[in-house]
């Protein structure tokens, strides 16, 4: 899918860390939870559901699988995995790792099937639950099939993360985080920073330095460690992104940087910065999955919050300010599943990951992630002489 080699290595390390995390903490997360009934004894015991289905995307082809498989295997569930059709080699490699590690046959099964077969799998009574990371369309389809069969689902869908820059932000550091937040995985990331919402007082300085940081990136082979801007996952992805940029320009956006295809073989798009795109236009509510950043001007904190929340998505958001108490106060007003202060939306094994609104529901990773697909079974013990 075109990932830069340095980012590929980082993804493998993160995936391994997720398995280590649940191996270390899983027993504690799944321990019996004693209750205090008026009489006798009671506890909640965490029991596996059985067979669970994961439908995973191409953009992080090892990490996405790890964050689904690791907690479910720790629970005792059996995992079926349907990976994206353009990264089957990754799915096969993961299954081979389980086999070489001595996992029992059937603990993890890779399914090389079309996406259209997912509903049939959920019709099978042996499949007890499903998780999907992907597009809104795919999420609605899976949720519909799961709901029809009274089965639980977890969805992590698209995002249009806001990156709020307040007047007291450290602009030098903020610009570097803005670059990292936008260009991670060549911008093909659900939690990539996409809407840069900047207050008037620092707009000119931030814009100048951000455009400079996004400029003159080395374009090339993603397997070359010197490459800074690789290709998108497919030609179709590049064509779609360019249509979005062209529509933004028609809607009044100003191109500060890039805005075109790169004249070379492959699905390459220039690092692009747009501004002057008015809120409320259809394009402002779409997710741009690639190296395109949009800068919005706001007059103050309240306008920044309102614009950040004016989105059908609610995955992540970040707020940059030297006043941490202020950042926390703003975080309370953001309608998203994750808010980071002085850092772009990110991921780690110990941090719950997930969104609200069009970005889905449920959580992965952390203790919350291991609780999604368990039977929280009540076990109640009454004394023989308890009254009827």
The two beta strands, 356-357 and 108-110, are unpaired
CA-nearest of 307, 313, 301 to 345 is 313
Q: Determine which one of 156, 301, 364, 372 is catalytic.
A: 156
106-117 per-residue burial string, b: 16 or more CB within 10 A, e: under 16? ebbebbeeeeee
How far is Cα of residue 206 from the mean position of the Cα atoms in its chain?
Answer: 26
Q: Determine which one of 11, 56, 189, 190 is catalytic.
A: 190
Q: Return the HEC string of the chain.
A: CCCCHHHHHHHHHHHHHHHHHHHHHHHHHCCCEEECCCCCEEEEEEEECCEEEEECCCCCCCHHHHHHHHHHHHHCCEEEEECCCCCHHHHHHHHHHHHHCCCCCCCEEECCCCHHHHHHHHHCCCEEEEEEECCHHHHHHHHHHHHHCCCEEEEECCCCEEEEECCCCCHHHHHHHHHHHHHHHHHCCCCCEEEEEEEHHHHHHHHHHHHHHHCCCCECCCCCCCCCECCCCCHHHHHHHHHHHHHHHHCCCEEEECCCECCCCCCCECCEEEECCCCCCHHHHCCCCCCEEEEEEECCHHHHHHHHHCCCEECEEEEECCCHHHHHHHHCCCCCCEEEECCCCCCCCCCCECCEECCEECCECHHHHHCCCEEEEEEEECCCCCCC
Task: In whole angstroms, give the CA distance from residue 43 to residue 234.
Answer: 51
Examine the residue annotation and report whether 190 is marked as an active-site residue of this protein.
yes
How far is Cα of residue 306 from the mean position of the Cα atoms in its chain?
Answer: 23
Please name the residue that has the structure tokens 């028609």. Answer: 250
Examine the residue annotation and report whether 189 is marked as an active-site residue of this protein.
no
Task: In whole angstroms, give the CA distance from residue 275 to residue 380.
Answer: 61
Q: What positions carry a catalytic annotation?
A: 156, 190
């Amino acid at each position: 899918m075109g990932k830069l080699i340095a980012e590929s290595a980082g993804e493998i390390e993160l995936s391994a860390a997720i398995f280590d995390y649940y191996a270390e903490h899983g027993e504690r997360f799944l321990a019996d939870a004693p209750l205090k009934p008026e009489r006798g004894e009671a506890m909640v015991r965490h029991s596996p559901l059985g067979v669970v289905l994961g439908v995973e995307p191409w953009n992080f082809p090892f990490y996405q699988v790890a964050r689904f498989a690791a907690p479910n295997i720790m629970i005792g569930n059996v995992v079926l995995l349907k990976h994206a059709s353009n990264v089957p080699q990754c799915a096969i490699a993961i299954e081979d790792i389980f086999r070489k590690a001595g996992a029992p046959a059937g603990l993890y099964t890779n399914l090389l099937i079309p996406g259209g077969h997912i509903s049939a799998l959920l019709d099978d009574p042996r499949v007890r639950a499903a998780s999907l990371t992907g597009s809104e369309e795919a999420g609605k389809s899976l949720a519909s099939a799961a709901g029809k069969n009274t089965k639980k689902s977890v969805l992590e869908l698209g995002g249009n993360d806001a990156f709020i820059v307040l007047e007291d932000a450290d602009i030098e550091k903020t610009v570097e985080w803005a670059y990292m937040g936008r260009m991670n995985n060549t911008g093909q990331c659900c939690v990539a920073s996409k809407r840069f919402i900047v207050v008037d007082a620092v707009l000119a300085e931030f814009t100048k330095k951000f455009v400079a940081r996004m400029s003159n990136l080395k374009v090339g082979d993603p397997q070359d460690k010197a490459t800074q801007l690789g290709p998108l996952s497919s030609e179709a992805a590049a064509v779609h992104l360019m249509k979005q940029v062209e529509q933004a320009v028609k809607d009044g956006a100003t191109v500060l940087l890039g805005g075109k295809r790169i004249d070379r073989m492959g699905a390459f798009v220039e690092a692009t910065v747009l501004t002057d795109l008015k809120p409320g236009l259809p394009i402002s509510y779409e997710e741009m999955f690639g190296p395109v950043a949009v800068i919005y001007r706001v007059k103050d904190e309240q306008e920044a919050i309102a614009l950040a929340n004016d989105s059908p998505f609610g995955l992540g958001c970040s707020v940059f300010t030297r006043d941490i108490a202020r950042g926390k106060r703003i975080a309370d007003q953001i309608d998203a599943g994750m808010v980071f202060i002085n850092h772009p939306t990110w991921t780690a094994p110990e941090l719950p990951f997930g969104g609200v609104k069009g970005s889905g529901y449920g959580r992965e990773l952390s203790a919350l992630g291991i609780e999604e697909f368990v039977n929280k079974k009540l076990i109640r013990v009454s004394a023989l002489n308890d009254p009827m």
